[in-house]
Amino acid sequence: MQKFSQRTQSFAGFTLDLTRGCLLRGGQEIKLPPKPFEALKYLVDNAGRLVSKAELMNAIWPDTAVTDDSLVQCVREVRRALSHDAQAIVRTVPRRGYIFDKPVASGPTSVTTYTEETGVQVIIEEEETDGEQRVAASALPAAVAPTPEHKVTTTERLTTAIKQHRRITAGAFASLVLMATAIVYLSRPGEAIDSIAVMPFVNVNGDPNAEYLSDGISESIINRISPNLKVIALNTVLRYKGKQTDPQAVGRELKVGAVLMGRVMQRGDDLLINVELVEVRNNRHLWGQQYKRNLADITAVPAEIAQDVSEELRLQLSGEDRKRLSKHYTESGEAYQLYMMGRYYRGRWTKEGIEKSIEYFEQAIKKDPGYAPAYAALGISYGSLGWTGLLPPKEARQKEEWAGLKALELDDSLAEAHVAMAWVRQRDLNWAASEEEFQRALQLDPNSAGAHVSYAYLLEGLGRLDEALIHLQRAQVLDPLSLNIRADIEYVLYFLRQYDKAIELAQKTIEMDPNFAPAHVRLAVAYLAKGMYEEAITEHKKAIVLDESPGRWGRSAALGYAYAEAGKRGDAQKIFDELKELSKQRYVSPFNFALIYIGLGEKDLAFEWLNKTYDEYPDTLLYLKVDRRFDSLRSDPRFTELLKHMKLA
Residues 132 and 84 in one domain: no
Say if 300 falls within a structural domain: yes
Angle at 206 between CA 205 and CA 208, to 5 degrees: 120
Say if 462 falls within a structural domain: no
Closest CA to 458 of 482, 483, 428: 428
Under the banding of pLDDT at 50, 70 and 90, the label for residue 113 is very low
* Cα→Cα distances 143→3, 136, 157, 503, 600, Å: 16, 22, 12, 64, 84
Q: Does the pLDDT value for residue 123 go beyond 60?
A: no
User: What pLDDT score does 170 carry?
Assistant: 43
- Name the helix (H) or strand (E) containing 284: strand 284-294
Under the banding of pLDDT at 50, 70 and 90, the label for residue 162 is very low
CATH code of 263's domain: 3.40.50.10610
Closest CA to 120 of 77, 66, 180: 180
Pairing, β 230-231 against β 195-198:
parallel
Within 13 Å of residue 391, how many CA atoms lie on the same side as its CB? Answer: 19
Cα-flanking dihedrals φ and ψ of residue 448, to 5°?
Answer: -80, 100
Distance CA 470, CA 537 (A): 31
Residues 620 and 638 in one domain: yes
Closest CA to 236 of 382, 228, 245, 227: 245
- Count of C-beta atoms within a 10 Å radius of residue 121: 23
Under the banding of pLDDT at 50, 70 and 90, the label for residue 382 is very high
Under the banding of pLDDT at 50, 70 and 90, the label for residue 213 is confident
Please report which residue ranges of 83-226 form alpha helices under DSSP H: 86-89, 170-186, 211-224
Q: Which domain holds residue 221?
A: 195-306
Distance CA 204, CA 87 (A): 21
User: What pLDDT score does 107 carry?
Assistant: 66
Under the banding of pLDDT at 50, 70 and 90, the label for residue 357 is very high
Residues 164 and 216 in one domain: no
Number of domains in the chain: 4
Mean pLDDT computed over 526-546 = 96
Distance CA 383, CA 461 (A): 18
- The residue from 268, 290, 306 where one domain ends is 306
Query: Percent of the chain having pLDDT more than 70?
Result: 83
Say if 267 falls within a structural domain: yes
- Name the helix (H) or strand (E) containing 109: strand 109-115
Residue 409 neighbours by CB under 8 Å, 6+ apart:
none
Residues 292 and 246 in one domain: yes
CB 273 within 8 A of CB 301: yes
Q: Does the pLDDT value for residue 142 go beyond 50?
A: no
Under the banding of pLDDT at 50, 70 and 90, the label for residue 69 is low
- The residue from 306, 341, 356 where one domain ends is 306
Under the banding of pLDDT at 50, 70 and 90, the label for residue 137 is very low
Which one is predicted more confidently, 284 or 130?
284
Say if 489 falls within a structural domain: no
pTM for the whole thing?
0.70
Residues 37 and 97 in one domain: yes
Distance CA 195, CA 214 (A): 22
Residues 221 and 120 in one domain: no
Q: Does the pLDDT value for residue 135 go beyond 60?
A: no
- Count of C-beta atoms within a 10 Å radius of residue 85: 16
From the number of C-beta atoms within 10 Å of its C-beta (0-12, 13-18, 19+), residue 48 rates as: exposed
User: What pLDDT score does 425 carry?
Assistant: 96
Quick one: how far is CA 214 from the chain centroid? 14
Say if 320 falls within a structural domain: no
Mean pLDDT computed over 558-580 = 96
Cα-flanking dihedrals φ and ψ of residue 587, to 5°?
Answer: -70, 130
Residues 154 and 114 in one domain: yes
CATH code of 61's domain: 1.10.10.10
Distance CA 632, CA 614 (A): 19
Under the banding of pLDDT at 50, 70 and 90, the label for residue 126 is very low
Mean pLDDT computed over 311-317 = 76
Mean pLDDT, all residues of the chain:
83
Within 13 Å of residue 331, how many CA atoms lie on the same side as its CB? Answer: 3
Q: Does the pLDDT value for residue 187 go beyond 50?
A: no
Q: Classify each residue of 88-106 as buried b or exposed e, where b means 16 or more C-beta atoms within 10 Å of its C-beta.
A: ebbeeeeeebbbbebebee
Digit-coded pLDDT (tens) for 89-99: 888 877 678 88
Say if 381 falls within a structural domain: no
User: What pLDDT score does 356 carry?
Assistant: 95
Residues 171 and 254 in one domain: no
Distance CA 500, CA 555 (A): 22
Report the range of poorest mean pLDDT among 216-220, 309-313, 319-323, 554-558. 319-323
CB 384 within 8 A of CB 397: no
Say if 620 falls within a structural domain: yes
Residues 174 and 213 in one domain: no
Residues 72 and 101 in one domain: yes
Residues 302 and 236 in one domain: yes
Residues 289 and 199 in one domain: yes
Cis peptide upstream of residue 62 (ω within 30 degrees of 0): no
User: What pLDDT score does 109 carry?
Assistant: 43
- The residue from 271, 291, 306 where one domain ends is 306
Angle at 608 between CA 605 and CA 610, to 5 degrees: 110
Say if 221 falls within a structural domain: yes
Digit-coded pLDDT (tens) for 631-648: 999 999 999 999 999 999
